[in-house]
Structure 1
Amino acid sequence: MNSFSGQRRLTVAVLTALALATSATACGSGLGGTGTKAADSGTYTVWDPYPQFAGDSAWTKLLDDCGGKAGVKIKRTAFDTSDLSNKVLLAAQQDNSPDVLIVDNPVVPTLAEAGVLTTTDDNKLDTSEVDPNLLGAGRSGGKTYGTPIGVNTLALYYNKDVLEIAGVDIASVRDWTSLTAALAKVKKAGKKGITFSAIGTEEGSFQFLPWFWGSGAKLTRLDSPQGVSALSLWTDWLKQGHAPNSVINNTQTTSWQEFASGDYAFAENGTWQLANAEDVGFDYGVLPVPGADGGTAAAPTGGEFVTVPVQSDTGRYTTTRKLVSCLTGAANLYTTDTTLSYLAPTSEVRDKQMAADAKFKPWAEAVKAAKGRTSGDLGTKYPKISEQMWKAIQSALSGSKSPKDALTAAQRAAN
């Protein structure tokens, strides 16, 4: 069991990686709180990025219930996602980390590299039921840090009415060629094709990744022929009028608003829009993002990992493990992911979600093929790669550079 000794000097690289990794998602404002130094042996601290859940929420009640089963009280503190990472780093320097930390998955390798987190080998967390592709987001240096509490990812929402008018059978959309052919039919019918987010932030990279990975490209070589083909796909869609120029500035929220207007055939967006999809006023469906030559493309995972920060008092880990096991075990995971609007990271609980609501079926398929942005031990390298990726996307879609030249420059900068 590793123990935390002394203060760690946080490098500029670590701080920059955290700033970039947390730029895609955020929620609410912090509620204040303290780490373990302020907690006695009968109180365990939990920090999470869910300030939207008040003290009487199902989430808080679950935390209290897990604490009761472990024989301790829970002191919970919620922070904005972008705020949480910096608070954790400061607490670690002061040997005042929370017992349980729930954090956005791209941040896990960065905190691990900074020496803030224990490994699952150290803390003895059982992750055997978690899908390996989802667990990969929490790996760094060949070791795993924590376990996912749930996942979301991207897929294509489609407007059944628009496709019917255009004479498109959704079953025919199996790869990039058939998708582009469908967009051409939609345009000919006087409707709009596809909307997505290509904004110059992590959101733009996040939305481009299914196409990038779906081409067979790897993040270690942005300018591969496969990567160029993916950016060319997006660029050609704009040139042919299949996607609007607004995608260059679209966030995932504004892209969704375009789709909700009822004029678009397709929109790339996430599971977090399911509740909004019920209110759009037209019949919709969901299709996993297709790979270039068919099959389901790997989409990036969103969602958080439950981690165990390093403590100087290593005797606390036994109870902490009970708390994490309670939160992420099959008995509670279904309730937890319903509360958080996530797909479960285990096939057993996802099957239960699909049995309860058939709308989860295409999302379950997308999750099976999904992977973490930092997977493959990219760790703190990912944010820099992502920044160059979104810059290349902006250059290509604006017409200032060809897809090949944009990605060549991106790879050079990433190196």
Structure 2
Amino acid sequence: MKLLPYFKSFLDNTVNLNDTRIAKLNSRVDSVTTFLREHDVFGEYFIDVIPQGSYAHRTIIKPVGSREFDADILLAMREHPSWTPAEYTAELKRAFEASATYKGKTHKRTRCVFLDYADDFHIDVIPFVEDRPAITNNKCDDWEVTDPLAFTEWLAGKSRIVGGGRLQAVLRLLKYLRDSKTTFSIKSVLLTILVGNVVESWRSTADAKYYGDTATALVHIIEDLSAYLQDNPSMPPIYDPAGTGRDFRERWDQDGYANFRTQIASYAAKMRAAYDAEVLDDAVAGWQSVFGTSFTAPVVQAAEKASPTEEFIDSTLRIPIRLKKSVTLVGRVRRAGVKRAYDLPRRGDRVQKNRTIDFELRDLNVTGPYQVYWKVKNNGSEALDAQQPRGQVEKGSSSRYESTSYVGSHYVEVYIVQNDVCVAMSRQPVIIQPR
């Protein structure tokens, strides 16, 4: 059984990082950004602070046991004319230690400065020289060629294939499985690459429901991952999907890989058995054998009322959805003063308030006449307080722009309609942060 209400409750209450922690994390990242932008030395070379890794990908999970959660941020900067790679982290640590706010909180790692707060999380600040592009390695005093923005964009593309934020949910569930059971060990970047690589558009083209809900996506993805691992008894290359040519095998070893391969096969079999179970008690027991006893029935609550203004292309406008073509909707944030333009998928779909976003149709393969419909849906207390949930479906042109007015996780959808049928659609998440 899928037990989708169980999955939602389990994710909301046990796995996902709670709103209080997210707000605190965002606030501290904002403070670090302000500090670096206004610093006497780093301010001169400062370009931006950019979320990276699990923070950018929205796959951070709530700390399990005594573990902490962390956020990686890139200090994007111009190259200093005289610093060696090792000096970037040395100077960054020196800058933080000279501040009353960060003194005593800093530690230097191979590629970053680690800010250790008193509670259960820390921030890794990674110098990133954008012109190269490369991060710094202070142990070997050398550059490591990387393109973290392209990595984030690659994962966003994989997420669009799965749809509905379900790929991020699957990654969070697998991270929770790793941290709670401790039967295997794998760095998050390796897990993200291996999982992302088995997500393929042809699977959902052949079966539109292949990734259709959280349980189905989880079972199919872990089975596809297990099949790939079983085909590779020896650890295969794990290339950087950003196209830098880096092989991330350097961060693992054959013994760890072999154990991961064995455990994923075991968990894939258990998940399939739970998914196929026809008796409720058997299904619950099966899923609990994987995720533990926190995987329980949700507490019955009053049903949430749908926004009275929200519309849907199929049920409201009576336009059937038969996806035979493709389109990719991309939001591009306009330049604003010294703040540069960028595509939302390269920044984890994040943008600050009071910016303007142009929404563009890319990779559209529909030929002949067609109509374009749009939907903008706002979420969060600011939009609700302003009575601006929106959600209407309306006909428009092939592009549009929107301003970022309300903090929250919103989205824009586009629908390509041909002969009164929706033949392609795409969603661009828009996560608006306070500043």
- Bucket of the pairwise TM-score, normalised by the shorter protein: under 0.3
**TM-score normalised by length of structure 1:** 0.25
Q: Which has the higher contact order (CA 8 A, sep 6+)?
A: 1
- Structure with more of its chain in strand, by fraction: 2
